[in-house]
Amino acid sequence: MHTTAPSKPADRRRQAGFSLPEVAMAIGIIAIAFVALIALLPTGMTQMRLAMDSNNGTRIVQSFVSRALATDYQKLNQLENVVHYFDDEGSPLDNSVDENNDLVPARIYAARVYIQPGQVEQDTKLAMTYSSRLVIAYGNIFESRASELINVNNWNELQQMLLEKKPKPNVTVRPVTITKTDGR
Does residue 58 form part of some domain?
yes
Q: How far apart are CA 67 and CA 86, in angstroms?
A: 14
Supply the mean pLDDT for the chain: 79
Confidence of residue 22 (pLDDT cuts 50, 70, 90): very high
Mean pLDDT on 4-23: 71
Number of domains in the chain: 1
3 falls within a domain = no
Q: Is residue 102 part of a domain?
A: yes
What are the pLDDT digits (tens) for 81-124?
A: 788 888 888 888 877 666 667 777 788 888 888 887 666 565 55
3-state SS, residue 153: coil
Helix (H, G, I), strand (E, B) or coil at 166: coil
Q: Can you give the pLDDT at residue 24?
A: 95
In the beta sheet, which residues pair with residue 176?
Answer: 134
Arithmetic mean of pLDDT, 159-168: 75
Asked if pLDDT for residue 184 goes beyond 50, the answer is no
Distance of CA 30 to the CA centre of its chain: 35
Do 145 and 170 form a contact (C-beta atoms < 8 A)? yes
- CB contact at 8 A, 109 and 141: yes
- In this structure, is residue 61 part of a structural domain? yes
Would residue 174 count as lying in a domain? yes
Q: What is the mean pLDDT of residues 125-149?
A: 76
pLDDT value for 103: 75
The contacts of residue 139 (CB under 8 Å, 6+ apart) are 109, 110, 111, 146, 147, 149, 169, 170, 171, 172
| pLDDT tens figures, 61-76 | 999 888 888 888 778 8
Whether 8 is in a domain gets the answer: no
Task: Give me the pLDDT at residue 180, please.
Answer: 72
Q: What are phi and psi of 5, to 5 degrees?
A: -80, 150
**DSSP string covering 99-145, please?**
--GGGGGG--EEEEEEEEEEEEEE-SSSEEEEEEEEEEEEEETTSTT
Instruction: Look up the domain containing 93 and give its range.
Output: 18-183
Model pLDDT, residue 95: 78
Residue at 13 is within a domain: no
At residue 33, the 3 state secondary structure works out as: helix
Confidence of residue 13 (pLDDT cuts 50, 70, 90): low
**Residue 1 lies inside a defined structural domain of this protein:** no
Percent of the chain with pLDDT over 90: 14
